Structures are given as structure tokens and as C-alpha cells.
Structure 1
Amino acid sequence: MNENAKQLFSKRKQEINKEKSYYNKFIFNGHFSVFLVIMLGAFILGYGDWLKAIPKGINYSLIASIVLAITSMFPIRTLLKDADRLFLLPFEKHMTDYMKHSLLYSYFSRIGFQILVVIVLFPLFYVINNKTYDFYILFAILSLLFPYLGLLLKWQWYKYQLEGWSIYVLLFIIFTSGYYVALAPKQISSVTSILILVGLFLLLRNQNKAQLFPWERMIKSEQQHHMNYYKFVNMFTDVKHLKETAVRRSYLDSFLATPKHKRFNKDYMYLYLFIRSFARGKDAFNIILRLVIIALVLMLWLQHPIITLIIGSLFMYITLLQMAQFYTQQAYGLWPQVWPVTDSKVIKGYEQFLNRLMLSIGILFIIAYTIVFPQYCYFSVLFLLVGWLTIRNVIKKLKYQETLLRD
């Protein structure tokens, strides 16, 4: 039956790889690839300049340990489906073999990012430790072992039906302490964390011999991971499987006041709908908020006026471009059927919404640029210019698309 478990998991993995291969064509398009290249170049430039004058009095070992401890907590990917709770029940006694392949898949699907974090941190500790790196070898080994041991322990923890938050707290403490001992005092005793993880795993595995497979928990977890992937892909293209959710954000209520009777008509209908959907939506709002925060951090961190200007303009372009998918959610949703209006009214409302979003982001970018480079503050007008040109291009394409649909 071990071969059957392997075949089942391989089939599931091929299905998800095929789906990811399809969506990757939309994600890694020309615009996003250029964005990544520029981001990488800006980070290398800023990181190199920062290493030349590293601020003193900061516990970098503790910060790096916390960061790597968080990235070391890999999620368990079982690739289970909702129907499995019924159709795989006769197969339950062989799910142990299935989970072995699942844990390996969970490990290797995320280990690349873990290695990248270790590589990025290496120059920092190489410089602050007088160009020595022997201790860093142990740190790197721990960063490769901890995630897999964490997955093994997490699986036994879930199988024993313990609370999910408790395993994350436990792993965070063990990982952080192990990394910190390897980085700060540079002692071999950091391997004690490995012994603790192995001991807990063996103890729980012995207790779980009579435990049943946690179908509900693992299926729900897999569905959540898959939905998170769809939310990411939805930044670049429409995803049919994505379920929209709404979130009440009371601090935005002042922007969502009911329009007065003069603006309660078809001319202002879609402007209100786009603003309300953005403010109450769970996905678009969070995506734009993350992009803006990342942009502001980079702008305040990089100490080069031209590079900072390019980064701000690039983020303005990417942010507004990602909102193109937001148009289809409203223009082809329920409201056009409830209150039919012409395409031009929908596009006009969308353009007004983008202009307001562009002004809000542009003002934040201008303030950040002025704080860092007050002598060049007039160059920050470029952010608004890039935003205006981007909106103009997006609206032009939408009008052309609507014309093709009418034909």
C-alpha cells in the first residue's frame, strides 16, 4: 500500500504543479519580471551601502534569530480535498505513508526561501564578526534541519489534537534559542534544540499510535493554503475559485458615508461601489497596504535620491496596475444586473476611484521622499505623473476591451 500512497500523492502533486504552471504565465509576465529585477538591484545597492556603515548597539543576532525562526515554521501541505474525508476513509490506516510524502513535499517546496534568507544574512554577520564564518556553518545547518523537524513535530501535534497556536509558540521558542546560541555566543550547545525537537517528536509519536487521522483539520488547513495562493494569483489575473470575503473596518467609515441625494444616481454609483468594495474587501485592501508599506520602508532605507525615486515610481505603477483585476469584480458582478448602466459610467467610476487611490498613495510617497531628501523634494512630483500615466493607459485598455465585447 506504500506504493498506492505514493501514487496518490504524486497524482495530487502533478495536478497542483499543472495549475501553478498555468498561473505562473500570468504572474511572471514582462512587467512583473522587470519589477523584480529592479527590486533586486535596488536591494543589493542599498544593502551594500548599509554594510559599509552598520549601526552599532543593535542585537542583530537576536533579530536574525527571530526572523529565521518565523521563516522556519513551514506549513504542512497535504494536498487533501474536501471529498477525501469520505472517499479516503477506507485508506485511513495507510495515511501514514501518504503523510511521509506530504511532509517531504512541504519541506522542499519552501526550503528555497529558507536558503535565500540564510544567504542574505551571511554578509551582515561576516562583517560584524571580523570576516569569520566558521560559526555561520552551524547556523546554516540548523536552518536546514529545524524546518523538517518542525514539520514532523507539528504533524504529531495535530494528530494528538492539541491547539494549533501552542505548537507555533513552542517552535518559535526552540528555533529562536537555537539560532541565537549559534550566532551570538557561537556555541555548539545550540544542537540541544535538535535533541529537544527529536525527543518531543518521539514522545508524541508513541502516544499517537492509536490516534485517528485528523481529516477535518488537515483538509481545512490545505484549503486555507490553497485559498491564500489564489489570493496572490488574483493580483495578476482572475481566479475563478477565489471566494470573496468582507471585513468591517470601522476606522474607514468616514470615507463610506451614504451619498447625498445629488450624488445618489448612476453618475456616482460606481465610484461609491469601488470605494466601498475596496475599503471592505479583504484581499485588495491588504495587498495594496502591503505594497505601500514595503515601498515606504525601501524609500526610507535607501539613501540614494535617484534610486528612491525609481522605487517609488515603480511601486506606484505596480500598485495601480494590480487594481485592474478589481474592475472585473464590479463591472461583471451583480450590480450591473440590478441597476444596468452603460459601460462608460462603470469605466468613469473606476477612473475616479483610481485617481483618488493614486493621490492618497502619491501623497504618502511625496512625504516619505521629502523627509529623506528635502533638497530634492520637487522631484517627487514624478510619483503623481507616473500614477496619472498608468491610470490613463489602464482606462484606455478597458475602453478598447469593452468595444471588442460589444462587437
Structure 2
Amino acid sequence: MSSLDAKQLFNERRQAINKEKRYYNKFIFNGHFSVFIVIMLGAFIMGYGGWLKHIPKGINYALIASLVLAITSMFPLRTLLKDADRLFLLPFEKHMSDYMKSSLIYSYFLRLPIQIIMIIVLFPLFYVINGKSYGFYIMFAILALILPYLGLLLKWQWYRYRLETWSLYLLLFIIFTSGYFVVLGPKNISGLSTILLLIGLILILKKINIKQLFPWERMIKSEQQHHMNYYKFVNMFTDVKHLKETAVRRSYLDPILRTPSTKKFNENHMYLYLFTRSFARGKDAFHIILRLVVIALILMIWLQQPIVTLVIGGLFMYIILLQMAQFYTQQAYGLWPQVWPVSDTKVIKGYHQFLLRLMVILGILFTIVYAIVNPIYAYGGIVFFIVGWLTIRSVIKKLQYQETLLRD
């Protein structure tokens, strides 16, 4: 394999993964999710615009923005390596440097849109608090676009030298935060010196790593983890065959997973228990739903507008319950129906009970927050329960219709 072959191999894999993403994007960016994104964007713009008119004083926004952007600036290194590469590409290790050059460029442009969005979102804040001056912000934007790529170059040399990942993230976090803060806070051009610092570290490690071998195990494991994280996200919208299910104990949820009594240890109650257990012990769905709930609560507290807050809460209730449809597929067409065959009506009944309990918990949580933020309109919390009930009713009807078609 020559240098040209190494680049061609990476391009073929990049095209393959882009094709896979285009396929799954059809399921992710469907009608209701697109509407959700548009409403979320509108709510954010409305809330952000109102907040900019009355920005709280006494808060170090430069430090907060520097900390946030330091985190987003640590781009993941995507190599697109596969498990078999440790065997079949090993004889061509001397050409892997060309492969990694393509990998570093791909990794940079893959996450660059998020960095650009952060720069755009932060601009109005610093434009207002700095008397409508923006010269320093141009310098900040340039720094925010250069540092992530230098961070990727340093990460690659760091991995080659077999250093710990946590030490790299700590070092990058300190350097990025310092550079951003010096530019945003004191508005000093010396913040650009972080570029020279990173270049110096890269050159030193590159010289040391001349005789270092390619870190196959580390790179393959890292790529597999990144790819699996993507599958976990997609699995909330459609079935992903490549996803490996995992479970986590979460002892604090044990009270809702008590072993059923003898009277309830039968086909009428088994699926309610299985759906609840899958959610409480599942590693992926639990975290995704938890993040959605946290985002919903933050928006409800931040916006402080009764009507908009009701819309946001109702929309999140709808999205969360709708995304739980994957749980039905996992249990209804999994192993248990073969071990303990029961009527599909029993499965749907258990799923219905599970969704109702989840809806009640979310409804109570959203209503409490809504009542605290808008005490005069606390009665509006009933909207969350109405949206949840209508969503569950629609989902159950659709499942019953699907099962009827399968029986025919």
C-alpha cells in the first residue's frame, strides 16, 4: 500500500460512513423532529433576545464563555479504523501517516459547524456588554477556529507517545480556557500566544515520536466508541442492528424494580416490569431521556414566558414519549415472547401502563417547575398531562393497528 492507496482507503471509508448517515438521517429528521427543532430554535431566539435586553450584572461572562468553548474545542479524533485493521494494515504501518493526515482534516471539519454556531451565539452577548464593539471578537473567533485543529494534532502525537487521555484533556482545557479568557476578558492580544504554545508542544512530541509505532489498539477502540455513540443516538429514532445493548445497575432506582409478588408474577404484569426494568437499567435510553428532561427544565426556567413555556414543556413531553417506541420493539420482538409466549394484547397493555407511569412522572416534574416559574398560571400544567395522554393514545392505536396487520 502506497501513500496514494492510504488516502484512497480513508476516502472510501469516509464515503461509506457518509452513506450510512444519509440513510439514518431519513429517520432522524422526519416531520415531527424537524418541527421540534424549528420550535426549539424559535424559543431559543426569543428567550435569548429578551435576555440580552436585561443582562444580569456582576457575572463574569468572559470566564463562563471561555470554559464552555474550551470544552467544545476539544474535537474527537475520528480515524474510521476497523477491528480487522490491526491485522491487515499492520504490514503497511509506514504509510499510516498519510492516512492520519486525512483523518485529522476529516475530524476537524466534522465538528467545525458546532464551533461556528458557538461563535455566532456568543457574539450578540459580547457585542452588547462591550458597548457594541467587536474588534476583539474577531480575534477571539480566529482563535476559536485555529485551536481545535492544533488540539487534534497534539492529541494524535499524545496518543502515539502512549500518554493518558485524561492528562491531555486537562492540558487542552487549561490552554484553551486561558487563551479564550485573555482575549475575551482583558481583550489582550497575548491570548494568541496559546497558538505558539500548542505548536511548540506538537513539534516536541513529533520529534520524540519518530520511532514510535502506530497505536492500533487505542485508535481502533476510540473509533468503535465514537461509532457506537452515534448508533445509540440513532436508536432512539429507529432500530440499529449494529448496536450492542448494555446495562447499568443504578441502585438508586431499585425501589421501582422490586421483584413482583406471587400474585403479580404472571402474564398480565410481566411486560410492565420488563419495560420498566429495560428503561431503568438501560445505559443509553435512560441517559438520552434524562438529557431531554434537563434541557426542557432549563428552557422552562430560562424563558419565563407562560405560553412559550407551556409549548416547550408539551413539545418535550411529546418527543420523549414518542421516542420510547423503541422499547416496544425491543421487548415485543425480543427473547421473552419466545420463552414465555403471550398475546400481543398483553404486551401492548404492559407498554401502555409503562408509558402512563412515565407520563405522570414527567407531568408532575414539568408542572412543579412551571408553577414555580409562573405561579399565577400554575393551573396551565394540566396541558402537559393532556399532551402526554393524547400522545400515548396515538402511539397505542398505531401499535394495535400494526399488530393487526402482522396477524393478517
Q: TM-score range by the shorter chain?
A: over 0.9
Q: Which runs of 4+ in 1 moved over 6 A?
A: none
SS at match of 2:162: coil
- Residue in 2 aligned with 1:27? 28
- Residue in 2 aligned with 1:194? 195
SS at match of 1:56: coil
**Deviation per CA, 1:30-76, whole angstroms, max 9, x where unpaired?**
00000000000000000000000000111100000000000000000
* Letter in structure 2 aligned against 1:106: S
* Letter in structure 2 aligned against 1:304: Q
SS at match of 1:109: helix
**Deviation per CA, 1:83-108, whole angstroms, max 9, x where unpaired?**
00000011110000000000000000
Query: Matched residues in 1 for 2:58 and 2:262: separation?
Result: 60
Query: Matched residues in 1 for 2:290 and 2:248: separation?
Result: 14
- Residue in 1 aligned with 2:403? 402
- Residue in 1 aligned with 2:226? 225
Deviates further, 257-266 or 309-318? 257-266
- Residue in 1 aligned with 2:318? 317
Q: How many pairs does the alignment contain?
A: 407
TM-score, normalised via structure 2 length? 0.99
* Letter in structure 1 aligned against 2:181: Y
- Residue in 1 aligned with 2:386? 385
| Aligned alpha-carbon RMSD (Å) | 0.5
- Residue in 2 aligned with 1:182? 183
- Residue in 2 aligned with 1:238? 239
Query: Matched residues in 1 for 2:289 and 2:145: separation?
Result: 33
The offset of 1:200, in angstroms, is 0.3
| 1:270 maps onto 2:276 in alignment | no
* Letter in structure 1 aligned against 2:245: E
| 1:73 maps onto 2:74 in alignment | yes
Match runs of 1:284-303 below 5 Å = 284-303=285-304
Unaligned 5+ runs, structure 2:
none
The offset of 1:2, in angstroms, is 2.1
Percent same amino acid among aligned pairs?
Answer: 77
- Residue in 2 aligned with 1:121? 122
- Residue in 2 aligned with 1:343? 344
Query: Matched residues in 2 for 1:403 and 1:160: separation?
Result: 60
- Residue in 2 aligned with 1:155? 156
SS at match of 1:361: helix
**Deviation per CA, 1:318-373, whole angstroms, max 9, x where unpaired?**
00000001110111111111111000000000000000000000000000110011
Conservation of the 8 A alpha-carbon contact between 1:235 and 1:323: yes
* Letter in structure 2 aligned against 1:217: R
Query: Matched residues in 2 for 1:262 and 1:287: separation?
Result: 34
- Residue in 2 aligned with 1:332? 333
Query: Matched residues in 1 for 2:142 and 2:195: separation?
Result: 11
* Letter in structure 2 aligned against 1:38: I
SS at match of 2:211: coil
* Letter in structure 2 aligned against 1:74: F
**Deviation per CA, 1:261-282, whole angstroms, max 9, x where unpaired?**
1111110000011111110000
Query: Matched residues in 1 for 2:207 and 2:328: separation?
Result: 54
* Letter in structure 2 aligned against 1:364: L
Unaligned 5+ runs, structure 1:
none
TM-score, normalised via structure 1 length? 0.99
Conservation of the 8 A alpha-carbon contact between 1:284 and 1:326: no
**Deviation per CA, 1:259-304, whole angstroms, max 9, x where unpaired?**
1111111100000111111100001111111101100000010021
Query: Matched residues in 2 for 1:54 and 1:392: separation?
Result: 43
| 1:139 maps onto 2:167 in alignment | no
* Letter in structure 1 aligned against 2:394: N
SS at match of 1:35: helix
Query: Matched residues in 2 for 1:185 and 1:173: separation?
Result: 17
Query: Matched residues in 2 for 1:254 and 1:303: separation?
Result: 34
